[in-house]
């Protein structure tokens, strides 16, 4: 069975990404962490986060395998949203497999306990051998072939609406703030990716209060086509005020079997206006069948599975296609009217 999946992976990704006319996005399974690879028509590659450390290099191997099959031999940018083990932990192992042009992060870690300090310094030992870019809300990351706008960083969000955004958000009145989050999650870099009319958002593990700053009292972000569910689809994030304001057509949940994909968050996403489908990297064991996506839209349907990705292929007119690497399930979403 493992041989079959490897063959399927290479067959479906055999055309190098730089030969395509669209933007390719691979949401790679790192068991409840994040690793999202963007490959532009110009052949430039940006990876967001690297999954976990350890596990005999499991996550680094999965990323490198997908990158190779996609025609990527070098990461032009490696963006670390924040310094938690499931996002930055895999950097040293991945750097042994793929050269990195520029590391992108938010600067110093706000967590200083011994374990967090060691994790951060393990990252620094690798990062400091390459080019380095610290970004703040409002910055752009210069990836040739797509627009990457930083909408949040270091606990701060943009303060002016993006083009076409700025409408009042009626859900703000009924959404209460929560206890202040002092962790690295609240420091997450959030990015909005634009390729022509196609828009996708990735807010890392940004938590509830910081999300609200982006959409309350007015929605500074506008609508998106694809929502990479914040914080792996946990209800510490994903308030209705932001998810429903974004009005995504598709949500991708980068959860693990027992991490992320909470019932509350999945219900919030499912009831968002304009949503057509949810695609998940894993069946969320604690969410129940009624909250999980239908089986064809889930990459790993049991705890023993280890299929590695969901692929999005976006066109400049706003059309995009999503593919499940387990079963070849593909669905195309036409441009918004």
pLDDT at 69: 87
Give CA–CA dist 95/53, Å, rounded.
12
pLDDT score, position 1: 42
> Residue 2: what pLDDT?
43
Q: What is the DSSP string of 39-59?
A: E-TTS-EEEE----S-GGGHH
**Could you tell me where the DSSP H helices lie in the chain?**
2-12, 58-69, 85-88, 91-95, 114-127, 208-215, 240-246, 263-270
Q: Which residues contact 73 (CB under 8 A, 6 or more apart)?
A: 67, 98, 99
pTM above 0.75, yes or no: yes
- Asked if 90 and 72 touch (Cβ cutoff 8 Å), the reply is no
Check residue 276 and report its DSSP letter: -
How confident is the model at residue 295, as a pLDDT?
97
* Pairing of the two strands 226-228 and 198-202: parallel
CATH code that applies to domain 2-315: 3.60.15.10
Confidence at residue 4, expressed as pLDDT on a 0 to 100 scale: 39
Instruction: Verify cis geometry, omega within 30 degrees of 0, for the bond prior to 217.
Output: yes
For each of the chain's 337 residues, which pLDDT tens digit applies?
A: 444 344 445 444 444 434 448 999 999 999 999 999 999 999 999 999 999 999 999 999 999 999 998 999 999 999 999 999 999 999 999 999 999 999 999 999 999 999 999 999 999 999 999 999 999 999 999 999 999 999 999 999 999 999 999 999 999 999 999 999 999 999 999 999 999 999 999 999 999 999 999 999 999 999 999 999 999 999 999 999 999 999 999 999 999 999 999 999 999 999 999 999 999 999 999 999 999 999 999 999 998 877 789 999 999 999 999 999 999 999 999 999 8
Q: How far is CA 324 from CA 33, 176, 188, 295, 296, in A?
A: 18, 36, 28, 11, 8
Q: How much is the pLDDT for 250? A: 98
What Cα–Cα distance (Å) separates residue 219 from each residue in 74, 179, 227, 244?
Answer: 36, 22, 15, 10
Per-domain residue ranges for the chain? 2-315
């Amino acid at each position: 069975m493992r041989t079959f999946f490897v063959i399927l992976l290479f067959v479906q990704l055999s055309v190098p990404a730089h030969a395509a006319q669209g933007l390719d996005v691979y949401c790679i399974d790192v068991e409840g962490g994040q690793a999202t690879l963007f490959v532009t028509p110009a052949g430039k590659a940006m990876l967001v986060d690297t999954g976990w450390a350890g596990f005999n290099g499991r996550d680094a191997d999965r990323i490198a395998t997908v990158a190779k099959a996609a025609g990527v031999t070098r990461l032009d940018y490696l963006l670390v949203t924040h310094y938690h083990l499931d996002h930055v932990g895999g950097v040293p192992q991945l750097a042994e497999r793929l050269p990195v042009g520029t590391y992108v992060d938010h600067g110093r870690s706000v967590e200083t306990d011994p374990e967090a300090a060691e994790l951060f310094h393990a990252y620094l030992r690798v990062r400091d051998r390459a080019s380095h870019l610290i970004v703040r809300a409002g910055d752009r990351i210069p990836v040739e072939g797509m627009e990457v706008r930083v909408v949040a960083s270091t606990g701060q969000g943009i303060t002016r609406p993006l083009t076409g955004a700025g409408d009042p958000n009626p859900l703000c009145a009924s959404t209460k703030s929560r206890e202040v989050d002092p962790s690295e999650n609240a420091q997450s870099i959030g990015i909005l990716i634009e390729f022509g009319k196609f828009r996708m958002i990735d807010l890392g593990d940004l938590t509830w209060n910081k999300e609200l700053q982006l959409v309350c009292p007015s929605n500074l972000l506008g609508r998106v086509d694809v929502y990479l569910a914040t914080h792996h689809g946990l209800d510490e994030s994903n308030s209705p005020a932001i998810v429903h304001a974004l009005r995504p057509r598709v949500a991708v949940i980068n959860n693990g079997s027992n991490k992320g994909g909470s019932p509350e968050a999945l219900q919030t996403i499912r009831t968002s206006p304009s949503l057509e489908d949810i695609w998940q990297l894993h069946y969320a064991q604690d969410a129940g069948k009624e909250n999980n996506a239908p089986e064809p839209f889930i990459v790993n349907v049991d705890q023993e599975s280890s299929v590695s990705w969901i692929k999005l292929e976006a066109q400049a007119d706003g059309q995009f296609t999503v593919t499940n690497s387990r079963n070849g399930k593909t669905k195309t979403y036409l441009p918004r009217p």
